[in-house]
Amino acid sequence: MAGAAAATSRSASPSRVRSAATKRPPHSVAVRSPPAASTSLTTTCAPARARASAIARPVPTPAPVTSATCPAISITRFYQPRASAIMCGMATTVPGSGTLPDTSDFRRQAFVDGAFTDAASGSTFACVSPVTGETLFDVAACDSEDVDRAVAAARRSFEGGAWSRLAPRKRRGVLLRLAELIHRDRDRLATMITLDMGKPIGDARGEVAGAVACFRFFAEAIDKVYGEVGPTGPDVVSTITREPIGVVGLVVPWNYPILMPTWKLAPALATGNSVILKPAEQSPIVALALAELTAEAGIPDGVVNVLPGMGETAGQAIGRHMDVDKVAFTGSSEVGKFFLVYAGQSNMKSVQLECGGKSPNVVFADVPDLDLAVAESAEGIFGNSGQVCSAGSRLLVQEAIADEFLEKLAREAAKWLPGDPFDAGTRMGSLVDETQMDRVLGYIETGRGEGAEVRAGGVRAREETGGFYVEPTIFGAARNDMRIAQEEIFGPVVTAIPFASEEDGIRIANDTIYGLTSGVWTRDINKAYRFARSIRSGTVCINCYDRGDNALPFGGFKQSGIGRDKSLHALENYTQLKTTYINVLPS
């Protein structure tokens, strides 16, 4: 489901830091220097524990090991920016039109060592709602200095043992409490998601429910995972135990602003680690709200730190930090490769990647229920406006039924026309920002230029709202060597490719650099099984598309990533094995 966009976005591009002389796009805010006597305002998290009220307090002293220890590497393209600028000093955003829900009580500072605090530099960036294109407010733009502070806090908390050495059943209780708090605040969190990335409110509520279920799953798993006793003979006692890795950096995307952090945060916390979470700059709001709930649930200071900021600054600093033991990243394959480079040039930290996809949804002529296949194919690419790493963006339809299938799919697409994300009846909302919208529209023009046939959509929608919407788009008569069939568009665009035989279908399905998920529709169980064994993807869905469960692992083959989210296997990502060998001496 999720993986997709990068800790910022799906494609990399130049830094969003602009000089004052740079021409600014709509909704951006001018850069200005911080006041000469500026001080960092730090506020304690009131619901957490009995502590001093919101007052200024000293910033934690960074550990001697910093991100600067590792020499920088030159990167010309990193994360895809939103059309806004980083600002220094106090926020100066343009007020919204008043058509969106009130955001005055939303957190907008970083969360470090149990307190909300400004970025060390005083810089901020605009949080723009794609629902209407309005600037909501400005958010702290963290960079390497803030990463150093957060890593120092995480290391102190880990070594102190208040969480890492807490009895598993007690960690279980705290995480169950966190799940209940998320459920309590479900409507507020769903509103944040819709405001921040344009997801329909019904889907946003479903995402919050998924986060609750994920925390409950890993909370219940904590005290039910055992070590091993090695088969080493009567004179030796050997044990194999799993221990937490230590300080873990989590760099997550914008397409599922609470679920993607949860998929990594829940198992990382369950196994006793301390974390630095960097949400995508396109959707930072809900991660900051989640930080506040972790404190209220009783997670000790320093165990959870949340740093909003740019990928090319905060994200890279996490990846290159010499005192971060592991990075778990969800986003584009291009950016995922950078994290592998950062690990090699720093401390050889463990790297887990859940990256891009161009997943094949293969419909054979003997499909058992054509209408069901059409409906699920539509949902598999138009759901979440196509901003899903496992979206069924390549639709392979056997030639005998291709025309009928695409005619039905075009009629089904009409049910997914973009609407007001705050309307409970809306099925498809906006894209996350103007840059992503332009990217999707650019690929649509590329598809036309390549000779593919537009069977539905292909244009911007709801332009009068100021938001960033694109109609569900279907390309027919496409070839698998086209860019629209090979490159991840990350929008509501499906490329339909006809195929002749079973062998032809499997060949085309595997002809991609990705291998995240896949689907096959047939009433022949033997054919389905042959396909499942032949396809190179982490998940295969038979007579359905993009299904899953917290008990099942999620991840990809090839350039779709390394490692797995969800299921008990996810606990392996955040632990390392220790062998203890005891020589039993004779009496």
- How is 233-286 classified by DSSP, letter by letter? -TTEEEEEEEEE-SEEEEE--SSSTTHHHHHHHHHHHHTT-EEEEE--TTS-HH
> Does any domain span residue 37?
no
Please check whether residues 347 and 366 belong to one and the same domain.
Answer: no
d(CA 410, CA 111): 46
Please check whether residues 46 and 135 belong to one and the same domain.
Answer: yes
* pLDDT of res. 45: 53
* pLDDT of res. 368: 98
Please check whether residues 144 and 233 belong to one and the same domain.
Answer: yes
> Does any domain span residue 453?
yes
* pLDDT of res. 505: 98
Tell which residue, 113, 107, 138, 140, has the closest CA to residue 40: 140
> Does any domain span residue 571?
no
d(CA 513, CA 360): 12
Please check whether residues 440 and 482 belong to one and the same domain.
Answer: yes
> Does any domain span residue 339?
yes
d(CA 29, CA 269): 37
Residue numbers of the domain that contains 386:
360-549
Please check whether residues 328 and 372 belong to one and the same domain.
Answer: no
* pLDDT of res. 96: 40
What is the CATH classification number for the domain harbouring 514? Answer: 3.40.309.10
- Structural domains counted in the chain: 2
Please check whether residues 287 and 376 belong to one and the same domain.
Answer: no
- If one counts every other C-beta atom within 10 angstroms of the C-beta of residue 569, the result is 15
Please check whether residues 382 and 312 belong to one and the same domain.
Answer: no
Q: Which helix (H) or strand (E) holds 493?
A: strand 493-499
One-letter amino acid identity for 234? P
Catalytic positions, written as ranges:
354, 389
> Does any domain span residue 396?
yes
Dihedral class, residue 532 (left if φ above 0, else alpha if ψ from -120 to 50, else beta): alpha
pLDDT in tens, 294-339: 999 999 999 999 999 999 999 999 999 999 999 999 999 999 999 9
> Does any domain span residue 500?
yes
Answer yes or no: are the C-beta atoms of 302 and 157 closer than 8 Å.
yes
* pLDDT of res. 36: 42
Please check whether residues 323 and 428 belong to one and the same domain.
Answer: no
- Copy the structure tokens of residue 255: 């397409």
Please check whether residues 426 and 281 belong to one and the same domain.
Answer: no
What is the CATH classification number for the domain harbouring 301? Answer: 3.40.605.10
Please check whether residues 149 and 271 belong to one and the same domain.
Answer: yes
d(CA 134, CA 494): 29
Those residues whose C-beta lies under 8 Å from the C-beta of residue 247, and which sit 6 or more positions away, are 151, 154, 155, 158, 273, 274, 275, 276, 323, 324, 325, 326
> Does any domain span residue 33?
no
Residue stretches of the chain with pLDDT short of 70: 1-98
> Does any domain span residue 180?
no
End residue of a domain, out of 352, 377, 394? 352
Please check whether residues 161 and 307 belong to one and the same domain.
Answer: yes
Full-model pTM? 0.86
pLDDT in tens, 107-166: 999 999 999 999 999 999 999 999 999 999 999 999 999 999 999 999 999 999 999 999
Please check whether residues 254 and 386 belong to one and the same domain.
Answer: no
